[in-house]
Chains A and B, each alone.
Chain A
């Protein structure tokens, strides 16, 4: 989809749809929303729907940011203490690395 070929009304709908979809534990959708609509929200000359798009973009970015922080923290903790946790770590793993 090329945003340039879309009218503003459709852009807003699309941005809103991506924002709501992100609530279904899909942080990547938020991240995509924030990046994809960044130009629309901040760089383009003002138009009627831009303000709303900007809100969605900002919230999507914040949401994706929080997710990133949580995920990174968890991954670091898990990788550092996987061996120490023993059985618990094995039970919550889908793939257990061989040989350590």
Chain B
């Protein structure tokens, strides 16, 4: 008996390494696709948009489609549903979405990257941020639709999960699985095992922002879970000249009051249907031009020679979602909390900047080269912006023609300000007159190809040269505006700088400029930065770096690079950092002094006490939280096979119960009763 027992144990141990290699059954059943990104849920004051799977995930039979007909075929003829169609991302349109929503055979959707040449691909609205801008600046009926190719899918509530894969290996895995098991004799699909997909992207938040914020904060909840977070990040601002004077002897900081400000602004964020962004034309062209303007102006105007005007560079974040950043900056300005928070609006370190202190607001919007034209949109025409446009026209490089457009107002951060202060003098510089020339606005295809960018290839008609010309024009005009004199010196060459900046944002974040400011990403990150605004409390690395690059451009060298630079100074009027002298001389570092800081880019709706969500005054976007997002492939047996397994399981349960019953009822025959030895009693 003992021999048999040990024999069995030995046998099991012998067999174990041969058959299983210590793999878990889970790993043998499923193929995980790790590099997938999902569409997730966002909420505003009234709606939920985006996608969510059921709690246990969505499963369906894979159907790989190359063209639209493949999809139509399976929706009509498929008999083994539900299906998860796998479509090339270029097919993703409103029409397809409606077809899929209507079909009862679809339980999810997987999109894969294909390099097809597309005419247009934008999932933002045709009138972006319409309800939070100035009224009647965009109309869906006539030709004034800014994003005319926009499908609006980004703001649709989709009933099934949607995933995206862009790695060739992953696409191949899925396609091979489909070809091997599914892609033949569709009539008999029901009767055989099929390659299937499971998509898991269950979203915790639901309904709308007020609901999910309330649910996250209910104290009586036994299972408190934060179900959504406000969208938000940081705005970046910097000033050309110091905002305060610092007396070293008395260690006193005195704000410089009574100045006017020329605001040069751009946005920093984009979005896309998935957790991947590109954003070449919007926002990268605009923000790179702004950075180049900052660099140029610092060279032209190194010191404030008693000018009454300062230049304020502001980079707004979260503008894609109803102007989060600019709304917050304006709100802070109105409450005396810009550029820094104050007690009762009294200036202590910096002057309190109010909207009325802005003499001119220049916004740099999408600026890719297109047909070589730059448009200056003047919504309300006044002497200030007309004069400035004239300066721009005079200073513009020969290769670019500047055209003035009066009364038009493209979607821009300026809208937030104009909505409250209609007499603000504004200019928006962009590359389109009516509809965007960028047909890939807020999508993954707004990439370097879209703006014809090639690293280290600075030709006369390249995007680098174009942006550097535009930056030169703007800086010269601002120089003239501030000094009242004509700028006579030669054009500064910044095309190399622009080239490197575009490289940083579009191709490689481990670039020279990000290294120069000494805050480059620690881990080797090969993918360009994601410029989606993200959620409050989680500052995007790209935003931090942007701040340092801007500060580097407008900063002054105040001494040798050493520990004293950043550690000892208690001078709050400036920030001090050790940074490289130039991007071509990374190892030579000096101590830089700059006037740059970050402000919260979270909608005022989330900080106003008892805010009335129905008022629609401020952006109300929040992002749902989730437990996990993953995708895997597995082989789903046919229905008959599944029923068979179930039946066998039930029968074996039944038989074993009967067996146990009989063994128990006849136990006295089967087993010899153990004679119980009375335990010795110690007397």
Question: A: which residues have CB within 8 A of B?
Answer: 83, 86-87, 90-91, 93-96, 98-100
Contact = CB atoms under 8 A, between A and B. Distances in A.
Contacts of A95: 221-223
A59 B215 CA distance: 42
A94 B222 CA distance: 5
B206 A100 contact: yes
B207 A98 contact: no
A98 B225 contact: yes
Contacts of B52: 99
4 closest residue pairs by CB, A with B = A98-B204, A94-B222, A100-B206, A95-B223
Contacts of B218: 90-91, 93, 96
B203 interface: yes
Interface in B187-234: 202-207, 211, 214-215, 218, 220-223, 225, 227
B213 to A, nearest CB: 11
A99 B205 contact: yes
A42 to B, nearest CB: 32
A93 B221 contact: yes
A96 B220 CA distance: 10
Given A99-B55, A99-B204, A94 B221 contact: yes
Interface string B609-627: 0000000000000000000
Contacts of B221: 93-96
A76 B221 CA distance: 21
A90 B217 CA distance: 11
Nearest to A86: B211
24 contacts: A86-B211, A87-B214, A90-B211, A90-B215, A90-B218, A93-B218, A93-B220, A93-B221, A94-B220, A94-B221, A95-B221, A95-B222, A95-B223, A96-B218, A96-B221, A96-B223, A98-B55, A98-B204, A98-B206, A98-B225, A99-B52, A99-B55, A99-B203, A99-B206
A91 B217 CA distance: 11
Contacts of B203: 99
Contact residues of B: prevailing secondary structure: loop
Highest count of chain B CB atoms <10 Å: which of A90, A99, A100: A99
A20 to B, nearest CB: 31
A86 B158 CA distance: 22
Contacts of A99: 52, 55, 202-206
A87 B218 CA distance: 10
A85 B465 CA distance: 60
A95 to B, nearest CB: 5
Nearest to B222: A94
A100 B211 CA distance: 10
Contacts of A100: 206-207
A96 to B, nearest CB: 5
B608 to A, nearest CB: 18
Nearest to B41: A99
Nearest to A92: B220
Contacts of A94: 220-222
Given A86-B211, A98-B55, A99-B204, 20 more contacts: A87-B211, A90-B211, A90-B214, A90-B215, A91-B218, A93-B218, A93-B221, A94-B221, A95-B221, A95-B222, A96-B221, A96-B223, A98-B204, A98-B206, A98-B225, A98-B227, A99-B203, A99-B205, A99-B206, A100-B207
B321 to A, nearest CB: 21
A15 to B, nearest CB: 35
A93 B52 CA distance: 24
Contacts of A96: 215, 218, 221, 223
A91 B202 contact: no
A96 B219 CA distance: 12
A73 B457 CA distance: 74
A92 to B, nearest CB: 8
A98 B204 CA distance: 5
A96 B211 CA distance: 11
B441 to A, nearest CB: 31
